[in-house]
Structures are given as structure tokens and as C-alpha cells.
Amino acid sequence: MQKVTLIPGDGIGPEITQVVKDIFEYMKVPIQWEEVEAGEHVIKDYGTPLPEYVIASIKRNKIALKGPITTPVAKGFRSVNVTLREQLNLFANLRPIKSLKAINSKFENVDLIIVRENTEDLYKGIEYKIEDIATSIRIITRKASEKIGWFTFNYAKKNNRKKVTAVHKANILKLGDGLFLDAIRNISKEFSDIEYEEKIVDNMSMQLVMNPEKYDVIVAPNLFGDILSDLAAGLIGGLGLAPGANIGDDVAVFEAVHGSAPDIANQGIANPIAILRSSIMLLDYLNLSDYAKQLESAIEKSLFDKNVLTPDLNGNGNTLTLKNKIISFLS
């Protein structure tokens, strides 16, 4: 049986990954979880938020489902998420943003794919500070830009997508984003069936909140991709709904777009849909598409009942009521 590394993570992570475990068990999905612990809460035992055995488990199984992990702001240890992506060379962060019929959001037909470069840009974390002057170095390489470019266009082709929009700030970051754009533009020429356009990130942000239906696949350097992902999650009803995958050449780590949500942790009200949709991506990746379709359909049906929805969706329910409703549609 396929083994899958499971990292519950911090904050709401254990509550929402438990929902995936319960539902997969109910569905008798033919995988075996290998549960490992990473995050702020393991530092006291391991002296690090990312113990070596966690990386070893993912390298062995080549696939993982990960809950969110807390990163201290303006101090403390480096992001575990960033370190994992770097150490496993998970170069693409794939974030589908798709409207759900049952959810009343401002837009009904959003169907975007955000492809975020996942290994460089400001996330290299190279910073210096001398007295009151701080410098943060932004790294953009042709190698990583080409890698994400090929990934994006191959994904678009395989999934019958019509348009790729490259997002940048090359009017100001002439060298860094100039290089990123040059790499993506060259690759676009190999895909004559796919429309290609470029948008400056500030304009793109406005376009997305005005006319999200006009966009299809968006490719962006790391930081812009990160910010646009949360913005796009807001278009379909919030962070509780947006899934993601970190993809490498032969390793993939699936996780929601959202973070550890410390403001609602341990209250039983976290929305499990984003991590469940990430687990659907995982099932598709493992060619377990029948299970993926079954779960997707159960989720869609369950979201029509306001009484079971979590508070972030203006519902009167909680994590458990939503899980039970989904299970009721799996029989």
C-alpha cells in the first residue's frame, strides 16, 4: 500500500488533518499514513522545528500531506515551510482557485490556477542589518524561472487551459523580474495554442478583484504568487477553501494555502475544506481519481447546508458538523 507522510503541523493543523484521516478511513482509501511531527511545538523535544526524520520520511515516501506550520514574525527560526520547499526542491506551488456553487461569494465563475515559483525570490531569506538600515536580497535565476515556466505551460497544455498570464514588477525590478519575464516569454513561444500575456503585479491585483473570470493560469515569482494566492482565495469565499500543492521533480507535498490560524486554534471551528481539497489533489496525483471525484462531490453537496458550515463561511456549525455532513454523502 502507498505510504504517505502526514505532518499535522501547528495551530489548527491537527484539527483539520484529523478530518482528512477520518474521511480517508471511512472511504477506505488505499494509502497508509506515516505520521511525523514538525513545527513550533516540537522544538522543545528536537531542538528544531523541522527534525531530520521528517525530511527523511518525505524523501522515502515521495509524497506528503502537511498541515500549516507557524513562523514567528520578525524574529525566531526560519520558516519550516520555506526550508522544506528548498530541501526537497519543491519548485512549483500549484494553487487552484475554483468557485464552489454553494458558497455565496462576490464571483460565481472563478477558475484560476496560480503557479508560484517556490524556491527563490525574497524567500531565500538573505538579509543584513547595520544599525537602522536593513537589506533584503531578492534572488531570481534563469534556471528557476525556466523551470517554473516549463511547469506552467506543460500544466496548462495538459489541463486544456487557454491562457497564461505572467505577473511581474519589471518596470521597477528591471533585472530580477526582467530575467523572470524573459525566461517565461521564451518558453511561451513553444506553446502557440496557449495565449500569453504579462501584467504588472499592482494592475493584476486590481484586475483580479474586478474581473477574475478573465484569467486562467497565472505564473508569478515567489512573493507575488504568495500574495495573489490569498487575494484569490478571498474571491471564492476565503482561506478556508483554497488548496495547494508543492511540486518537485519526484516529490510532492500537499497543503492548504492558509496558515496555522492561531486565532481560532483548538476551538473546533476550523474549516477543513482547504486541506480536504488539497487531499483531493493528492488523490489525483496518486491516480486515485475515483476517490478524488467521490470526495469532491460529497464536499460540494455538504456545503449547501448552512447549519453545518464553519463560522468563516457564515455557518452555524463547526469542524465536526461539516465533517459528518461530508461523510453522510459518501455512503
Binding-site member from 110, 247, 264, 282 for ligand NAI (CB under 6 A): 264
Name the β-bridge partners of 253.
Answer: 64, 246
112/253 with CB nearer ligand NAI? 253
How far is the C-alpha of 146 from the C-alpha of 151, rounded, in Å?
8
Take residue 243 and report the three cell numbers written for it.
488548496
CA-nearest of 149, 122, 114 to 229 is 114
Contact (Cβ atoms closer than 8 angstroms) between residue 98 and residue 217: no
Least spacing, CB of residue 255 vs ligand NAI, in Å = 5
Rounded distance, CA 47 to CA 33, Å? Answer: 25
- Per-residue interface string for the shown chain with ligand NAI, residues 265-284, x marking contact by CB under 6 A: -----xx--x----------
- Cβ-based nearer residue to ligand NAI, 23 or 288: 23
CB of 238 to ligand NAI, least distance (A): 7
Q: Of 220, 255, 276, 303, which one interacts with ligand NAI (CB under 6 A)?
A: 255
Residue 283 Cβ, how far from ligand NAI at the closest point, in Å? 19
Q: How far apart are CA 13 and CA 19, in angstroms?
A: 10
Position 239 contacts ligand NAI (CB under 6 A): yes
Query: Applying CB under 6 A, which of residues 212, 259, 315, 317 lies at the interface with ligand NAI?
Result: 259
Instruction: Decide: is 261 part of the binding site for ligand NAI (CB under 6 A).
Output: yes
* Region from 57-65, 126-134, 256-264, 299-307 binding ligand NAI, contact rule CB under 6 A: 256-264
CB 66 within 8 A of CB 37: no
Place of cell 486565532: 263
Window contacting ligand NAI (CB under 6 A); options: 24-32, 68-76, 84-92, 297-305: 68-76
Check binding of 312 to ligand NAI (CB under 6 A).
yes
Closest distance between ligand NAI and the C-beta of residue 246, in Å?
A: 9
Counting contacts by CB under 6 A, is residue 222 touching ligand NAI?
Answer: no
Question: Could you give the strand order of the β-sheet that contains 111-117, starting from the edge strand earlier in sequence?
Answer: 31-35, 2-7, 63-66, 252-254, 245-247, 92-98, 111-117, 217-220, 163-168, 195-200
What residues have CB less than 8 Å from 23, skipping those under 6 apart? 276, 279, 295, 323, 326, 327, 330
Touching ligand NAI, residues 80-139 (CB under 6 A): 81
Which residues lie closer than 8 Å to 46 by C-beta, 6 or more apart?
Answer: none
CB of 160 to ligand NAI, least distance (A): 29
DSSP readout, 278-329?
A: HHHHHHHHTT-HHHHHHHHHHHHHHTT-TTTS-GGGT-S--HHHHHHHHHHT
Q: Which is nearer to ligand NAI, 152 or 310 (CB)?
A: 310
* CB-based closest residue to ligand NAI: 259
Query: Cβ closer to ligand NAI: 68 or 149?
Result: 68
Residues contacting 132, CB < 8 A, separation 6+: none
Q: Which of 8, 42, 61, 68: binder of ligand NAI (CB under 6 A)?
A: 68
Least distance (Å) between residue 64 CB and ligand NAI: 12
* Beta carbon nearer to ligand NAI, 12 or 298: 12
Q: Is 263 in the site for ligand NAI (CB under 6 A)?
A: yes
Q: Which positions touch ligand NAI (CB under 6 A)?
A: 12, 68-71, 81, 239-240, 255, 258-264, 270-271, 274, 310, 312
